[in-house]
Amino acid sequence: MKKRIISVVLMLVMLFTMGGCGKKTVSAGELLEKAYENSKSVTNMTAKYTMQMDMSSAGQSISSTTTGDITAFTDPYKVKMNMTMDMGELGSQDMEMYMAAEGENYYTYTGMSGVWYKQSMDKELFEKSLNSYNSELYLESFVKSKDSFTFTETTENDKELYQITGTLNGEALADMVNSTDILSQMESFGIDSSLYEDLEDLNITLYLDKESCSFYKMSLDMTKMMQEMMSKAMDSISDTVNGDDAEANASANVDISKCIVEMEYTGYNNAEDFEIPEEALNAEELDLSGLNDTTVQ
């Protein structure tokens, strides 16, 4: 009997010691590094995207929720996205978008209200656009700030997860932004890269699948960051358009009270292949070269 009691005690000690060691010796940074290494073997993925934004200007308020489904392949590179922007009483807009290479040429195809638009892109911009959906890119940025992260264990939809919270420092944030086409999109509207200078660190929450240690979901509270960028952008535009007209400049201010972005990765290396619709391929190509002309008439 005594031997049995000792054996049971030893088994319990081993059990709790193993569990305790796992929690004590594994850091959030190590989990992020492992997830980053796992992401390098991803050749295709599916994801869901949500952005909630509340903003106001000149006494008018707008609340919008944008949702989307994304499928992306890396060999060859191509992306499919279905998006809906719901603006409440102002209505909603559905959009379908594809990105793909045709030989040495790169294109985006956008469909709205049954009408398709085709736009050519250079290779660098095409690759940066694809990076906007790249889990490997995000994880690489998080690893650069790994020392600021901590984690707990949680569950969601019967899935066991690591919930990792921390701060993406300014340098890592700048690297991530510069690796996507966000700057190019802003510059096409006459807003230069100084918009991203001296931004504060970004607080984030992300989730890793505990079993596979793969990127499952992230949530970014970008309210403060978007307000800072918008203020810089509106100041620049107001100075150009209104000059010293204080009243006009004040009315042009935009206040952002909420901007929450969530990305949930729903599958890796099991995405269903897709073809770009013929009406998209045959759409007339847009010439957007004049959008960079910010001269006020």
Residue 201 has pLDDT above 90, yes or no: no
Q: Which residue has the higher pLDDT, 56 or 198?
A: 56
Residue 227 confidence (pLDDT): 82
Give this prediction's pTM: 0.72
Residue 170 confidence (pLDDT): 67
Q: Which residue has the higher pLDDT, 22 or 236?
A: 236
Q: Which tens digit of pLDDT belongs to each residue from 125-147?
A: 776 666 666 677 778 778 888 88
- pLDDT tier for residue 217 given thresholds of 50, 70 and 90: very high
Q: Which tens digit of pLDDT belongs to each residue from 7-29?
A: 433 343 343 333 332 344 678 88
Residue 295 has pLDDT above 80, yes or no: no
Average confidence (pLDDT) over 184-192 = 51
- pLDDT tier for residue 279 given thresholds of 50, 70 and 90: very high
Residue 81 confidence (pLDDT): 92
Residue 133 confidence (pLDDT): 64
Residue 222 confidence (pLDDT): 81
Average confidence (pLDDT) over 232-244 = 63
Residue 162 has pLDDT above 90, yes or no: yes
* 29-285 fold: outer membrane lipoprotein receptor (LolB), chain A (2.50.20)
The mean of the pLDDT values for the chain is: 76
- pLDDT tier for residue 4 given thresholds of 50, 70 and 90: very low
Structure tokens at 49: 């995207």
End-to-end CA distance of the chain: 96
Radius of gyration of the chain (CA): 23
Least confident of 140-144, 198-202, 265-269: 198-202
Cα 281 from Cα 272, distance rounded (Å): 20
Q: Which residue has the higher pLDDT, 136 or 207?
A: 207
Average confidence (pLDDT) over 73-99 = 89
Percentage above 70 pLDDT, the chain? 68
Average confidence (pLDDT) over 121-128 = 72
Residue 237 confidence (pLDDT): 66
DSSP secondary structure letters along the chain:
-HHHHHHHHHHHHHHHHHHHHHHHH--HHHHHHHHHHHHTT--EEEEEEEEEEEEEETTEEEEEEEEEEEEEEETTEEEEEEEEEE-GGG-EEEEEEEEEEETTEEEEEEEETTEEEEEEE-HHHHHHHHHTT-HHHHHHHHHHTGGG-EEEEEEETTEEEEEEEEEE-HHHHHHHHHTSSHHHHHHTTT--GGGGTTPPPEEEEEEEETTTTEEEEEEEE-HHHHHHHHHHHHHHHHHHHTTT-HHHHHHT--EEEEEEEEEEEEEES-PPP----HHHHTSPBP--GGGG-----
Cα 20 from Cα 247, distance rounded (Å): 63
Average confidence (pLDDT) over 205-218 = 91
